[in-house]
Amino acid sequence: MFFGDYLKKDETELERRLAHFNKKCKCPNCNNEPDEQKTRKFKCKNCQQYVFVKKNNDNFYYLTEQQSEEMEYIKKFVSFKYKNFNKLVNCGYDKEILLEEFNNSYIVTFEPLKEFIWSKFNFLLESPTTKPHQFSLIYPSMANFSKEEGNHEQVIEFRKLALDSQLNENRRFLNYQYFEVECVILSVSGTECEKYDNTVIELEKLFENPPLPHKTIEFDSCRCRYGFRPKKDSEGDWLLKL
């Protein structure tokens, strides 16, 4: 699935959050200035303490170990935020409203951010303005988010909802075809479900009891999807609807 980069990362946001860190290229422990600029961790000759060097854009930061960990946390936070905000916008959330709501929330740590993102996915699910085709984007995004959080039961639930919503979209499309169509399962090579690849399913059975995702030995490992193709006669010609 393609997610457009609708929200460009605001580099000034990261700079603002890193503003309190030491950019003077001096030891953060004793304020001693090294003989030359360092680009990696080093031991201060004056106080014998280790100095951790981090780079952001063209700036080098001389940090204590705790400050180094804090900076990494901030960078991961900002990256995680924009990755998931782009998914929300791709699913139909208004980007200006999303940013305004986030800025008004004053969130600066991961757990509240995750709760914020999840609440926006749920808002899209419940919104009366959400179009049917958007569910085939929202559910996979929620499944991926759940997988990253290690919530495997929700992964299965949302993958099932995603596949079912895609089926509903395909069903509307199939009604306008002038030829007979059959469904095949498309699996991923090298996985437990590879044995199901190219299995044909009658449309009537498909819509009555959709088989995907498969129950696999390795939990939530099924990556199969539905494919549709024209039925052909013995000579390889498409079968037209009567």
Residue 176 has pLDDT above 90, yes or no: no
- The helix/strand/coil state of 76 is helix
Mean pLDDT for the stretch of residues 183-193: 90
pLDDT at 41: 95
Q: Do 159 and 200 belong to one domain?
A: yes
- How far, in Å, CA of 15 to CA of 21, rounded? 10
Q: Express each pLDDT in 82-122 by its tens digit.
A: 999 999 999 999 999 999 999 999 999 999 999 999 999 99
Its domain, for residue 191, covers 152-230
- How far, in Å, CA of 123 to CA of 162, rounded? 17
Q: Of the ranges 5-19, 40-54, 225-239, which is most confident? A: 40-54
Whole-number percent of the chain with pLDDT over 90: 51
Q: Express each pLDDT in 196-210 by its tens digit.
A: 999 999 888 898 899
Q: Do 116 and 186 belong to one domain?
A: no
Starting at the edge strand that comes first in sequence, how are the strands of the sheet with 181-186 ordered?
Answer: 200-201, 181-186, 225-230
Residue 5 has pLDDT above 70, yes or no: no
Q: Do 215 and 161 belong to one domain?
A: yes
Q: Do 67 and 173 belong to one domain?
A: no
Q: Is residue 119 part of a domain?
A: yes
pTM of the model: 0.79
Report in angstroms the alpha-carbon separations of 196 from 44, 89, 156, 222: 61, 34, 18, 11
Question: What sign results for the dihedral spanned by CA atoms 115, 118, 120, 122?
Answer: negative
Residue 124 has pLDDT above 90, yes or no: yes
Q: Express each pLDDT in 39-74 by its tens digit.
A: 999 999 999 999 999 988 888 899 999 999 999 999
Q: Is residue 212 part of a domain?
A: yes
Q: Is residue 101 part of a domain?
A: yes
pLDDT interval class at 2 (50, 70, 90): very low
Q: Do 214 and 116 belong to one domain?
A: no
Residue 232 has pLDDT above 90, yes or no: no
Q: Is residue 179 part of a domain?
A: yes
pLDDT interval class at 1 (50, 70, 90): very low
Q: Do 23 and 63 belong to one domain?
A: yes
Q: Do 190 and 79 belong to one domain?
A: no
Q: Do 180 and 73 belong to one domain?
A: no
The residue among 130, 162, 182 that closes a domain is: 130
Q: Do 90 and 37 belong to one domain?
A: yes
The total of structural domains in the chain comes to 2
Q: Do 17 and 83 belong to one domain?
A: yes
The residue among 130, 162, 180 that closes a domain is: 130
